[in-house]
Amino acid sequence: MIGKTGKAGLTTAAVALVCAVTVLTAPGVAYANSYANPAKPAPGPTPAPTPTTADDKDLEKVRKELDRLYHDAAVATDEYNAAEERAGEQSDELVKLARKIVKGQEKLDELKERVGAAARAQYRSGGLPPEAQLMLSDDPRLFLDGAGRVREGQQATKGLLAELTRTQQDLQAYAKDASTQWQRLEANRKAKAAAKKKIKSRIADAEKLEAKLEKEERERLLELEQETAYQNQAAWLSSGILEEINGKASAQGKKAVTYATAQIGKPYEWGAEGPKTYDCSGLTSQAWAAAGRGIPRTSQEQWKQLPRIDIKDMRPGDLIIYHDDASHVGMYIGDGAIVHAPRPGRTVTIAGAGSMAILGVVRPDR
């Protein structure tokens, strides 16, 4: 089946070769050996290669269906990672609120004890108000001294009661906040569970679909994926964009690129942040963490929160966000290439920056 590509197949191969040569012969290529034979690059968007046989047409349908399934899994992975991050933050907040409640309860108990002590002292004095006790005294000096103490005592009692009231109100507020945080935590747990179920379902469907293929068909499917990626990259390069991109990496950007490229060959795993496996945003977030700058965990939040720059201004270390829903991310490493974690069944690899539909570029260290 592989040999039945015909003239159109040779044209496709020629386009792929020209694309690869264009990238590899660009000035200052630092990753030529890796890019010359990309390890199973991620499937790209249109334009898709034109199938040359009936079998190829069927495989092209399979490729598009796999794209859809893995894309859905990628979106769900972002949802899972976001829910997990929020759950972590909410758990931390619950711990803080619990500590405040414990300290507030201890303070409340202490204040109640002091109020009780004051009440017991009044009972022991016969139940007469201090003013009445002073009025019954025959010693004017004692009366004046006592009057001052009464005023101080009244102020102290008022302050004690006010503090008691404030502490009770604080405890009520802490308890209410804790209840709200707990509800949010539970909601995020449910969101995580739903996302996890969706991820596993889509990946299982994709694996089941691939399992139906014969070995030769799987090899040809991989070729179709690569041809699609190369054609997209060739179209991107034909615009002349690479001639405009000449930014130099910052010190932190170099560190991020060094970390990311050191992970090449490690398997993709949804929800993973290393050190043995990664998903796409797990790779980019950990690379920048290693460079000394924390960034959002998911590709969608990276797109939302990080400063955006024009493609022609990008430099190594910048993040390229892919697809309209920002469901994938790769790190630009220069010379028209990215390093990324493509999808389940693939490994961290180098691919063409234009091999997928670019949404935009963000810069973590701007």
Q: For the CA atoms of 351, 352, 355, 357, what is the dihedral angle to 10 degrees?
A: 110
Q: Which residues contact 156 (CB under 8 A, 6 or more apart)?
A: none
- Identify the helix (H) or strand (E) that includes residue 320: strand 319-322
Q: Is 309 helix (H, G, I), strand (E, B) or coil?
A: strand
Instruction: Determine the straight-line distance between the first and last CA of the chain, rounded to whole angstroms.
Output: 50
Q: Which residues contact 104 (CB under 8 A, 6 or more apart)?
A: 167, 170, 171, 174
Alpha carbons 80 and 123: distance in angstroms, whole number: 63
Short-list 62, 352, 365, CA closest to 232 = 352
Beta bridge partners of 339: 331, 350
Alpha carbons 209 and 66: distance in angstroms, whole number: 8
Beta bridge partners of 309: 361
Q: Is 334 helix (H, G, I), strand (E, B) or coil?
A: strand
Distances (CA, A) of 103 to 70, 87, 180, 201: 49, 24, 20, 46
Examine the residue annotation and report whether 71 is marked as an active-site residue of this protein. Answer: no
Distances (CA, A) of 135 to 124, 125, 154: 18, 15, 17
What counts of helices (H) and strands (E) characterise the chain?
10, 6
Examine the residue annotation and report whether 340 is marked as an active-site residue of this protein. Answer: yes
Side-chain half-sphere CA neighbours of 199 within 13 A? 20
Distances (CA, A) of 239 to 149, 244, 272, 312: 89, 10, 36, 12
Beta bridge partners of 351: 338
Residue 96 in contact with residue 112, Cβ under 8 Å?
Answer: no
Examine the residue annotation and report whether 19 is marked as an active-site residue of this protein. Answer: no
Alpha carbons 117 and 112: distance in angstroms, whole number: 8
Active site residues: 280, 328, 340
